[in-house]
Structure 1
Amino acid sequence: MSSPVALMSLATADAPHMLSQADALAAAYRLFESRGAWFDRLAPVFGNAGVRARQTVMPLSWYAEPHGWPDRAQAYLEGGDALFAKAAQAALDEAGCTGAEVDIVVTVSSTGIATPGLEARAMRRLGFRADIARIPVFGLGCAGGATGLALAARLAAATPGATVLLVVVELCSLAFRLDAPGKADIVATCLFGDGAAACVLRAGAEGFAHVTGFGEHTWPDTLDIMGWRVDPQGLGVVFARAIPPFARRRLRPALTAILQRQGLALEDVGRFLCHPGGAKVIEALEASLSLGQGGLDHEREVLAAHGNMSAPTVLYVLDRARRAGLPERSVVTALGPGFTASAVTLARAA
């Protein structure tokens, strides 16, 4: 990139309802007690997930009721709109910008459908100009935080002087299903929460870090590893047990190739900032990248406090890392549907 793209700010926004893992397990027992031994065999995953609590857009009682597409869509619009505005305004405030100064807004979300998008619904509240360029992005899943950051950086680099606002919103809890839960749904119930993150980028500006490179790697014949299935009642999770061993075997060579295209090696990276898909995924990432057990401490902290929020989660990790002090070079990376690894290389601002 000819002019370095600065990350001028980064903000996170928690959903309004706190759900402890103990309360989630108790609720699951009540809801699935009729399934007896089937649920008893799966219940230990709540204790092994690495999650203490997460936040949701709806109160716990809402999830105990049957909901179809209309209810879930309305909850997505209301909850997503509120989190979008909260995260975006905080990022703008930190960057010293107003909504009227934003030239391009990138919205990343894969847990609901909004047409017009969340950014259009928030225009008046945030003071966006009528000529703002709106870019909604759907389908990236857990990789959306990293890929969205790369896309926002590309746009900032291609439009010198433009202020780019990236907002990532995911409401994973709305996919909780009572009708016909499978093993993947139960695992998702013990892992997933809701949240949002936003950042402001501009080429040639001052910030806490600069984006120096990015890349992706999509493995062929892996469509069934992660994603959504579409059912009459809503979205259902596709979450293969193969994810941790796949990450252990395949992530290192993929990141090696991405970094080589930037003239870098794994050894040049001071810290990998990874999307924490779950406790087993974190262990697999540490093994794949030879980080040593416990090396991904920020990731474990975010998972414990917020669960897996899908796309925003890696930006929560980045936020913790920058407050603790970024190394000279770091790489933000996440795995998502495709099956795809996405990576963004950051240089700490002087």
Structure 2
Amino acid sequence: MNRAAVPVALLSLATASPPHILAQDDVAEAARRLFQDRFPQFERMAGVFKTAGVRTRQSVQPMEWYLEPRGWPDRTAAYLEGGVDLFVQAAERALAGAGLRGADVDIIVTVSSTGIATPSLEARAMARLGLRPDVRRVPVFGLGCAGGAAGLGLASALARASPRAVVLLVTVELCSLAFRLEDLSKADIVATALFGDGAAACVLATDGEGFAEVEASAERTWPDTLDIMGWRVESNGLGVILARSIPAFAKQHLRAAMVCMLAANRQELGDIDRFLCHPGGMKVIEALESSLGMPQGQLDHEREVLADHGNMSAPTVLFVLDRARRAGLSHLSVLTALGPGFTASSVTLRRTA
């Protein structure tokens, strides 16, 4: 665990959602029309649309866009247009919340794993945000659902290493672009019932007063777990890898990993007032509560974010943090998320406001 020698303030946090709202009942009906004749197991799996814990999601394209076959050119164009728009919206809101402008940013960390952009998203957003030509850019790919927590840990480490620098973290994920009509698997059906699009941004610095201080960050990767979660790079886009064993794995292994991560900061599970978790799905939420010794139902912000936005991958845990902040952040919290690797990422936050 990386214990902060220099305090890093979390000055602001903001979220952004795309304009198209997908009601879960409408998605389920569209999926039935599309899949029931070509995927023999669809009816047996259709219950996932009711048990996923999702009511609505947001997407960068209207539902009709997803009902036609799409290849890399279409998906990439949608990623670049929708991703940059969300990037700018979230970044502008976070900067405004900190009382800053784009020209004040010294380091910008971009976390995104649902599309390919070279130049990366922050380069494409520089003019719209008014970023300086000498801003240091740190694009990060491949963190998946762990990206919100891991990105916050990375951004805080960069702020600590560069005193007085303003660090802007932006995470953007467009999971809906992985929706496919061809080569269906059980994981694709689950993804169709679960994933949405969104972005979140925050500003960090060693100078200034924020609503929390990043006290420590940590990661733990389990060996021989590469096939639990990730992407398959295929001819028509990214195909989801999503093992059924994720809830069971989290229930069995997360507690021990968290004990180790906290011990490096001379803390124990009992010291933490609130765990703020990435809500990968309803079964994952229940597994996290069980593994960390919480009563079932305690992860209420997580359930609310999942219901209103679905699983947006990396930004989702920052949506949870935003709800917790608005409701009144606990004195000592741990932000945590599981992602490809298979990896647990955590950030310890101490309330300051």
* TM-score, normalised relative to structure 1: 0.99
Partner of 2:78: 75
Partner of 1:49: 52
Partner of 1:227: 230
Deviations 1:276-332, CA, capped at 9 Å, x for gaps:
000000000000001111010000000000000000000000000011111110000
Partner of 1:246: 249
Partner of 1:172: 175
CA distance in 2, matches of 1:133, 1:245: 40
1:125 and 1:337, CA in 2 relative to 1: closer, same or farther beyond 3 A? same
Task: Name the SS for the 1:276 alignment partner.
Answer: coil
Contact 1:244 1:284 in 2 (8 A): yes
Task: Name the SS for the 2:36 alignment partner.
Answer: helix
TM-fit CA distance, 1:89: 0.3
Contact 1:3 1:204 in 2 (8 A): no
Residue of structure 2 aligned with 1:60, choices 46, 58, 63? 63
TM-fit CA distance, 1:2: 2.8
Please say if 1:104 is aligned against 2:111: no
CA distance in 1, matches of 2:120, 2:157: 21
Residue of structure 2 aligned with 1:277, choices 275, 280, 284? 280
Contact 2:14 2:201 in 1 (8 A): yes
Task: Name the SS for the 1:122 alignment partner.
Answer: helix
Equivalent runs, 1:134-153 vs 2, <5 Å: 134-153=137-156
CA distance in 2, matches of 1:203, 1:113: 32
Please say if 1:289 is aligned against 2:298: no
Residue of structure 1 aligned with 2:206, choices 203, 214, 217? 203
Residue of structure 2 aligned with 1:118, choices 118, 121, 124? 121
Deviations 1:41-97, CA, capped at 9 Å, x for gaps:
111110000000100000000000000001000000000000000000000000000
Equivalent runs, 1:337-348 vs 2, <5 Å: 337-348=340-351
Partner of 2:325: 322
Contact 2:39 2:184 in 1 (8 A): no
Contact 2:21 2:56 in 1 (8 A): yes
Task: Name the SS for the 1:34 alignment partner.
Answer: coil
RMSD between aligned residues? 0.7
Counterpart residue type for residue 256 of structure 1: V
TM-fit CA distance, 1:15: 1.2
* Ranges in structure 2 where 5+ consecutive residues have no aligned partner: none
TM-fit CA distance, 1:246: 0.2
Contact 1:171 1:193 in 2 (8 A): yes
1:202 and 1:280, CA in 2 relative to 1: closer, same or farther beyond 3 A? same
In the alignment of these two chains, the number of paired residues is 350
Equivalent runs, 1:257-268 vs 2, <5 Å: 257-268=260-271
Counterpart residue type for residue 348 of structure 1: R
TM-fit CA distance, 1:35: 2.8
Contact 1:249 1:288 in 2 (8 A): yes
Counterpart residue type for residue 188 of structure 1: A
TM-fit CA distance, 1:36: 6.4
Task: Name the SS for the 1:323 alignment partner.
Answer: helix
CA distance in 1, matches of 2:18, 2:193: 17
CA distance in 1, matches of 2:40, 2:167: 52
Equivalent runs, 1:7-26 vs 2, <5 Å: 7-26=10-29
Question: How much identity, in percent, do the aligned residues show?
Answer: 67
Q: Which runs of 4+ in 1 moved over 4 A?
A: none
Counterpart residue type for residue 58 of structure 1: Q
Contact 2:108 2:169 in 1 (8 A): yes
Deviations 1:204-223, CA, capped at 9 Å, x for gaps:
32000000001000000000
Partner of 2:5: 2
